[in-house]
């Protein structure tokens, strides 16, 4: 399954998340890091949810991680896998696993980001087997 069989959705973007989505068009997965408490967080916010500092910085993630959990939707015209992936930086994000045998997915498996263009100026950070 190398080609996607369902329509690529376009994310809802706002003033605070525009930079994140602009970077996806260049194949970059940005996450936020707090310069005061040094903690990463996701989804990105202006103010650190751990220490309330507004001294947060955009950092490019390695895009590598492991599957924290997943669920394959079987009752759908196109079966798909929703998942949470824990990035090397330690934070966990929701995504879909693509270009992968849906019967072979395991918790803990190594994955890496695989951007798919939405055609609307940004790309979605899917993940696939590393």
Q: Which residues are at the interface with another protein (CB under 8 A)?
A: 9-14, 16-17, 21, 39-43, 45, 49-50, 68-76, 80, 82-84, 86, 90-96, 107-108, 124
| Residue with smaller CB distance to another protein, 9 or 119 | 9
Least distance in Å: CB of 95 to another protein? 6
CB contact at 8 A, 71 and 82:
yes
Residue 70 forms beta bridges with which residues? 83
Least distance in Å: CB of 35 to Zn ion? 8
Out of another protein, Zn ion, none, which partner does residue 97 contact, by CB within 5 to 8 A per kind?
none
Q: Quick check: helix, strand or coil at residue 86?
A: strand
CB contact at 8 A, 90 and 50:
no
Out of Zn ion, another protein, none, which partner does residue 99 contact, by CB within 5 to 8 A per kind?
none
103: exposed, middle or buried (C-beta count within 10 Å: 0-12, 13-18, 19+)? exposed
Out of another protein, Zn ion, none, which partner does residue 94 contact, by CB within 5 to 8 A per kind?
another protein
- Angle at CA of residue 12, ends 10 and 16, nearest 5°: 135
């Amino acid at each position: 399954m190398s080609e996607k069989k369902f329509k690529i959705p376009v994310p809802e973007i706002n003033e605070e998340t525009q930079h994140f989505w602009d970077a996806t068009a260049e194949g970059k997965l940005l996450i936020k890091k707090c310069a005061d408490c040094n903690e990463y967080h996701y989804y990105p916010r202006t103010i650190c949810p751990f220490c309330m500092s507004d001294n947060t910085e955009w950092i490019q993630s390695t895009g590598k991680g492991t599957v924290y959990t997943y669920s394959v939707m079987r009752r759908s015209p196109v079966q798909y896998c929703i998942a949470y992936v824990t990035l090397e930086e330690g934070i966990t994000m929701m995504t879909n696993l693509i270009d992968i045998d849906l019967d072979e997915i395991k918790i803990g498996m190594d994955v890496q980001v695989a951007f798919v263009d939405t055609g609307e100026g940004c790309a979605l950070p899917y993940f696939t087997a590393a």
